[in-house]
A and B are shown apart, each in its own frame.
Chain A
Amino acid sequence: AQSVTQLGSHVSVSEGALVLLRCNYSSSVPPYLFWYVQYPNQGLQLLLKYTTGATLVKGINGFEAEFKKSETSFHLTKPSAHMSDAAEYFCAVSDRTDSSYKLIFGSGTRLLVRP
């Protein structure tokens, strides 16, 4: 079964520093890949997605992610963290090989931004 691993339940960075949140998936056939952000007391907001084509995808709020098939990874980055980036980030996949449309989520990474 498909699974998603997010390394690090908490990541702490200084304001202005690089943000790197890691995500690895398990299947041999690359799934559709998504990053969602959850601010306190809010729902899941789509940051970006990879379905096909260019492996570096840009999303909202200056985030981007790179799909690396050889590493089965889809890490999320942002060059310079802002205080408003503090939130929980979820990597999710959707299997493209069958008719299942469900999202399978990682366990989430809470990003803390220090002033």
Chain B
Amino acid sequence: EPEVTQTPSHQVTQMGQEVILRCVPISNHLYFYWYRQILGQKVEFLVSFYNNEISEKSEIFDDQFSVERPDGSNFTLKIRSTKLEDSAMYFCASSEGAGYQPQHFGDGTRLSIL
């Protein structure tokens, strides 16, 4: 069964450094998402992406965050200058369509900021 893949599984970065989290969504999916889960808290929406542009973003997704689909397969999340509070599990998801179509999640990247 096709799946969403994320790399790396664990990323350790110094505060203030840039980090790029990578995702390969399911190939025929058109909608892409990033979520994060801070340890012990809810899974929170960050951003959705469709037709090569951001369709929605949360208040968490400030100017330090950006997303890109550099080619036909990858979907990346960049954090320009990481803060301690960015430490979390980051999940990529994709869906065939919107709303009623289920989102399929990757195994996540655990980001640890030192």
Residues of A whose CB lies within 8 Å of any CB of B are: 32, 34, 36, 41-46, 49, 51-52, 90, 92, 94-96, 99-108
Whether the pair A34, B105 counts as a contact (CB closer than 8 A) is no
Whether the pair A44, B48 counts as a contact (CB closer than 8 A) is no
CA distance A44 to B43 in the complex (A): 10
CA distance A100 to B45 in the complex (A): 11
CA distance A99 to B48 in the complex (A): 11
Q: Does B31 contact A (CB under 8 A)?
A: yes
Whether the pair A101, B102 counts as a contact (CB closer than 8 A) is no
Q: Report B12-52 residues with CB < 8 Å from chain A CB.
A: 31, 33, 35, 41-45, 48
Q: A44 contacts which chain B residues (CB < 8 A)?
A: 43, 91, 93, 105
B35's nearest neighbour on chain A, judged by CB, is A103
Q: Given A101-B55, A102-B45, answer yes or no on A51-B103 (Cβ-Cβ < 8 Å).
A: no
Could you tell me the distance in whole angstroms from the C-beta of B52 to the nearest C-beta in chain A? 16
CA distance A96 to B41 in the complex (A): 25
Q: Does B99 contact A (CB under 8 A)?
A: yes
